[in-house]
Amino acid sequence: MSHSSPPVRRVADWDFDQLSSLAAEHGTPLYVVDLDRVAENYERFASAFPDAHVMYAAKAHTGRAVLETLLDAGADIECAARGELQRAIQAGADPDTLQYTAVNPPDADLDYAAELGADHPGLTVTGGARDTFDRLEARGYDGRVAIRVNPGIGTGHHEKVATGKDAKFGIPYDEVPELAADLRERFDLVGLHAHAGSGVLHDDLEDHCRAIAKVAELAREVGDSDLAFVDFGGGFGVPYREDEEPLDMEVVGEKVREAVGDLDAQIKLEPGRYVVADGEVILTEVNTVKETPEATVVGVDASLATLIRPAMFDSYHPIGNVSAPERAVEPVAVGGPCCTSADVFCTDRPVARPEREDLLAIGNAGAYGYELANQFHSQPRPAEVAIEGGETRVVRRRETMDDVTRVERESGDRAGDAAAGDR
């Protein structure tokens, strides 16, 4: 496969006839993921960093089909929770290649990691608090560990993802050398890890590289020749807005290498969003068009339960009219059926005028889209269909009301099986 594929895929680049057919066959709202595009994005990224160890940050999209695709493409997997470790292994990942970045890990997560490490000594556990290492030791774990560093520099598309300056993430920069000396007595200290933020584009690249340079200097201070790797995380963004330009990954690769400088340890990178974001869209049907003095309000069957990023991060997602892209464009507000004013995908957005029963596509839904899907208003989560090699298949069936209520009924609730209309 060539890595010369376009560096960004806009909504208009999708095959609208194919999307219409998928919506007709599988219903809406519907996630559609192009696995070929996911593999292309990974290859483009890896080609920009030929000397780095590139791992996929699973938290962006843990769908089994996505994980299998990336494992087949040669990626290793970085996990931020016990469930992600389990899903990576179920998708075929070798546990000895996994990296677990523990953030305030619950006991059950650490129990699982310690047990996994006992059987698979290649597992690496990254800790961002002294407590995490003490709790690992108490579980008898003495294997591979890395220190998550807080570089004091945050970047990204929203303050809620600028992890590099958030005290929640990592050991304070100045405390790392002392901690490193301590951990070398108790574990196999193999690396340093840092993550400045998420959604980094051109305007954030300078700060991102400053954080990288700072962590690289710290690695040299603690002895990079004694470390297997220095992990600079991911965070590389994709253009969500139509007027944003994609990153030139060859230029990014040069800037990152310049920021790192001479380093004996191997560089690790963990792209997540960059790999999956533009590989997926959400299809949703228009059910209501309401003219008001303030706006033309377009109601659709997707909601913040389908895609919460606009409500959570004020995120922009491009929207296209699949049914009638040739219609005259006019500003509209698009929102879902949830009883909250947060359930809005856009306001005053130019879209080919939607009419009832039109099919709309919400773009760049691959990163943290299905991952954050929920059952608010007792809405079953949507199906997900994969496109690969010209073929399509369901990789997640649509939930039913039976799925939504099963855990209550199986708990011995006195309602028993009396739930009506659960299918």
- Domain residue spans of the chain: 35-275, 278-408
Q: Which amino acid is at 381?
A: R
DSSP secondary structure letter of residue 328 = P
Does 270 carry a binding-site annotation? yes
Mean pLDDT over 29-58 rounds to 97
Architecture of domain 35-275: Alpha-Beta Barrel (3.20)
Are 84 and 62 in contact by the 8 Å Cβ rule? The answer is yes
Query: Which tokens is 66 given?
Result: 């996505």
Enumerate the H helices of 315-400 as residue ranges. Answer: none
Does 10 carry a binding-site annotation? no
Does 309 carry a binding-site annotation? yes
> What's the CA angle centered on 73, arms 71 and 78, to 5 degrees?
45
pLDDT value, residue 49: 95
Mean pLDDT over 354-370 rounds to 98
Are 30 and 283 in contact by the 8 Å Cβ rule? The answer is yes
Residue 133 binned pLDDT confidence (cut-offs 50, 70, 90): very high
In this structure, whether the domain defined by 278-408 belongs to CATH 2.40.37.10 is answered with yes
Q: Maximum Cα–Cα distance for the chain, whole Å?
A: 70
Query: Is the pLDDT score of 376 beyond 50?
Result: yes
Are 79 and 145 in contact by the 8 Å Cβ rule? The answer is no
Mean pLDDT over 271-287 rounds to 98
Tokens 């040069």 label which residue? Answer: 254
pLDDT value, residue 417: 52
Residue 195 binned pLDDT confidence (cut-offs 50, 70, 90): confident
Query: Is the pLDDT score of 43 beyond 80?
Result: yes
Query: Is the pLDDT score of 196 beyond 80?
Result: no
pLDDT value, residue 160: 40
**Whole-Å CA distances, 183 to 130, 137, 176, 193:** 10, 10, 10, 15
Are 372 and 63 in contact by the 8 Å Cβ rule? The answer is no
Are 332 and 354 in contact by the 8 Å Cβ rule? The answer is yes
As a whole number of angstroms, the distance between CA 88 and CA 94 comes to 8
Mean pLDDT over 376-402 rounds to 98
DSSP secondary structure letter of residue 92 = T
As a whole number of angstroms, the distance between CA 42 and CA 47 comes to 8
Are 279 and 365 in contact by the 8 Å Cβ rule? The answer is no
pLDDT value, residue 163: 46
Does 272 carry a binding-site annotation? yes
Does 388 carry a binding-site annotation? no
Summarize pLDDT for 87-101 with one digit per residue, the tens: 999 999 999 999 999
Are 194 and 166 in contact by the 8 Å Cβ rule? The answer is no
Query: Is the pLDDT score of 416 beyond 60?
Result: no
As a whole number of angstroms, the distance between CA 148 and CA 183 comes to 13
Mean pLDDT over 229-249 rounds to 94
Query: Is the pLDDT score of 137 beyond 60?
Result: yes
Residue 156 binned pLDDT confidence (cut-offs 50, 70, 90): very low
Residue 1 binned pLDDT confidence (cut-offs 50, 70, 90): very low
Q: By mean pLDDT, which of 170-184, 268-282, 338-352, 402-416 is the weakest?
A: 402-416
Query: Is the pLDDT score of 157 beyond 50?
Result: no
pLDDT value, residue 208: 87
Q: Which of 119, 78, 98, 35 is nearest to 233 (CA)?
A: 78
Does 353 carry a binding-site annotation? no
First and final C-alpha spacing in the chain: 43
pLDDT value, residue 62: 98
As a whole number of angstroms, the distance between CA 66 and CA 260 comes to 30
Residue 164 binned pLDDT confidence (cut-offs 50, 70, 90): very low
Q: Is 339 a catalytic residue?
A: yes
- Return mean pLDDT, the chain: 93
Print burial letters for 226-249: b (CB count within 10 Å at least 16), e (below 16). ebbbbbbbbbbbbbbeeeeebbeb
Summarize pLDDT for 5-14 with one digit per residue, the tens: 899 999 999 9
Catalytic residue among 209, 338, 339, 346: 339
Tokens 């593999």 label which residue? Answer: 39
Summarize pLDDT for 252-264 with one digit per residue, the tens: 999 999 999 999 9
As a whole number of angstroms, the distance between CA 360 and CA 342 comes to 19
